[in-house]
Amino acid sequence: MQNKSTQRVTKKRKEISHDRILEVAARAIRRSGYDGTGVADIMKEAGLTHGGFYAHFESRDTLLAEAGDRAGAESVAIASRIVAAAPAGQAIRALMEAYLSAEHINAIETGCPVSALGSEMPRQSPEVRRAATLHIKEMIDLVARQLPDWGQPQAHEQAMALLCALIGTTMIARAVDDPALSEALCAATMKQFNPATE
């Protein structure tokens, strides 16, 4: 038996590797998709060898589930920070501008996992879909709280429609091979939900 300090240090070491693998995987799935993400690639990118993977995760599937969950949680956290930093009454506009910005469109590895992985979701394991659904609901609530008529049922509806539009626009802007069209799509959605601004 070991004393508590040993256990803590031991845990820490493994936790660091576990965390690094997870962080790499959270980016890899958004870059290469669930199907396109292999154990060997992730371990190499994490600076480890492929065989050691199973000391950290039960299977490739559990890693992908945890990685998706982490990506979703981080995305909600980023959105919360944008809302908190926005001037009063400007939270929605700030969220939309961040979401439809060229930086977000070009940062698929670290951006919203729904626009990066959405069309692969119907095939994923129940755990993956459950986590994704949870984070989507969190995001809807976050958006609804920033709307002028928060509390009324229509706020929730408006939040859902806005989020679907933002995610769809981002996904399509990344899908097409015509940069001018990508920009036009973002501008069109911006205008549609924010008619006041040019």
Binding status of residue 129 toward DNA by CB under 7 A: no
Q: From 118, 123, 126, select the one nearest 172 (Cα to Cα).
A: 118
User: In this complex, which beta carbon is closest to its own copies, that of residue 18 or of residue 174?
Assistant: 174
CB 119 within 8 Å of CB 139 = no
Helices (H), 100-178: 102-106, 113-117, 126-145, 153-175
Nearest approach, Cβ of 18 to DNA (angstroms)?
A: 7
Q: Which residues contact 28 (CB under 8 A, 6 or more apart)?
A: 37, 41, 42, 45, 67
Among 126, 148, 196, 198, binds its own copies (CB under 8 A): 126
Q: Which residues contact 27 (CB under 8 A, 6 or more apart)?
A: 109, 110
Binding status of residue 60 toward DNA by CB under 7 A: yes
Distance CA 70, CA 74 (A): 6
Strand residues in 6-138 grouped as ranges (E): none
Contact set for DNA, span 27-46 (CB under 7 A)? 37-41, 43
Nearest approach, Cβ of 81 to its own copies (angstroms)?
A: 23
Q: Kindly list the residues in this chain that would bind DNA in the complex (CB under 7 A).
A: 2-3, 5-6, 9-11, 13-14, 16-17, 37-41, 43, 47-56, 59-61
Q: Kindly list the residues in this chain that would bind its own copies in the complex (CB under 8 A).
A: 32-33, 35-36, 108, 114-123, 126, 129-130, 132-133, 136-137, 156-158, 160-169, 171-172, 174-178, 181, 184-185, 187-189, 191-193
